[in-house]
Amino acid sequence: MAAEDDLKIIAKQEKELVFDGFDEARAFTLGSALREIALERGLGVVVDIRFWNRPLFFAATAGVNAGNHEWVRRKINVVKRFLKSSYRMVLEQQRPDRTFAPQHGLSAEDYVLAGGGFPITVRGVGPVGAITVSGLPEREDHNLVVEALCAHLGKDHGSHALPAA
């Protein structure tokens, strides 16, 4: 039942955490805020914000390794392909091996079922990119992105956060 509850909350997040517009300046402000949260809490994370066709912001804090960048790349691919958060895909697919079923035709080298990628959606346009975090357990990666989006968009984080696992 917990997965079903989380899916309802994530659907709400994806519907309500929407921008009126998004550009390089917003990416920098949002990314910098996310980086500051990570530094204040001593979290080792990679933060990547991008339009589908180009990067807008990238930061890494102490404690990450080269693998985190690869996880980010693969999470971004999932968000771009399905236009949903990567954690939502984890919960919908229920695949313990973290790969997509063969009928999707998606390689494990380029796609991973792991939380932390979230669509950047512009009202009246749709998803235009992704904001992605890697370095924490996947639920925490997802929650960190949602926390930063709520703060940036002036939304109540308490009504959008996934409950503690």
Could you tell me the residue ranges of all domains in the chain?
Answer: 2-153
Token look-up 């991973």 returns 112
Token pair in block for residue 22: 């998004």
Give residue 1's pLDDT: 55
Whole-number Cα distances in Å, 89 to 18, 40, 84: 19, 29, 7
Give residue 126's pLDDT: 97
3-state SS, residue 143: helix
Whole-number Cα distances in Å, 126 to 26, 28, 80: 17, 20, 12
**Per-10-residue mean pLDDT for the chain, 165 residues long?**
89 98 98 98 98 97 94 98 98 94 94 97 98 97 97 95 87
Assess if CATH 3.30.450.150 describes domain 2-153: yes
